[in-house]
Amino acid sequence: MIAGIGDLMSGQTSSLVLRIKELEEQHLAFRNSLVCAFNQMLDLKDINTGVHSTRLAEWALRVARKMDMPEERLYQVEVAALLHDIGKIGVPDAILKKSGPLTPEERALINRHPEYSWSILRLFPGLEEASLYALHHHESVDGTGYPAGLKGNDIPMVSRIICVIDAFDAMVSNRCYRQGLPHSEAIARLLRSSGTQFDRDIVQAFIPIAEQEAADVFAAAGTSMSAAL
Ligand SMILES: [Fe+2]
């Protein structure tokens, strides 16, 4: 009799465990769909810059691994790299795509976008960490960035990674109002701003990835680095 109740209870427990596992998988699939949908929205709004946003996420993951970030945090790194600029949907297109110089008021409005990104991402269950990375992706290691003016290691490492790769992507991308810089010049600018805007170690970790990217672009264009130099 007791063994019968025990069997019944262990059967109920294992079906409960199975059900919890199913619900967890559904929750993760739903969260991933939300991330993809928001990323698609950024593409449609043309807020993602030159390289496809998945390439930006790939760079972030590669740099994070080089910086010995634990594997369990990499999902948050990927999401933050994909969606850090989502707050730009709160900035009018006329300002985002303005070709001339920005007024101080327009600049102040654009500079609110990390806070807007945080306010959106923190509402996703399980993305609270990524929302903080997005909040601080325009901080500078010398404390002159925004929104909080954090310095050095007070800035989350993932935010420092996004700051470097996002700046590189913006520099090499063609925009409607300007041509992208050559990769070599973009790398030189990362180096020049190492220790002021950018984290030195992260720039050093990213440079081989950026150089590989340049080699891939030349290969795709049917030429070679040596021929182009
Ligand atoms: Fe940004």
Model confidence pLDDT, tens digit, residues 176-199? 667 889 999 999 999 999 999 999
Q: Which value, to the nearest 10 degrees, does the dihedral of the CA atoms of residues 70, 75, 78, 84 take?
A: -110
| Rounded distance from Cα 62 to ligand 1 centre (Å) | 20
Taking the CA of residue 10 as centre, how many other CA atoms within 13 Å lie in the half-sphere pointing to its CB?
5
| Rounded distance from Cα 144 to ligand 1 centre (Å) | 15
What would the pLDDT profile of 18-66 be if each residue is shown by its tens digit? 999 999 999 889 888 999 899 888 888 877 665 567 888 999 999 999 9
8-state DSSP, 71: G
| Rounded distance from Cα 73 to ligand 1 centre (Å) | 21
The dihedral through the CA atoms of 44, 48, 52, 57 has a sign that is negative
Q: How far apart are CA 43 and CA 48, in angstroms?
A: 6
More confident residue, 54 or 171: 171
Predicted pLDDT at 223? 44
Model's pTM, two decimal places? 0.85
| Rounded distance from Cα 203 to ligand 1 centre (Å) | 18
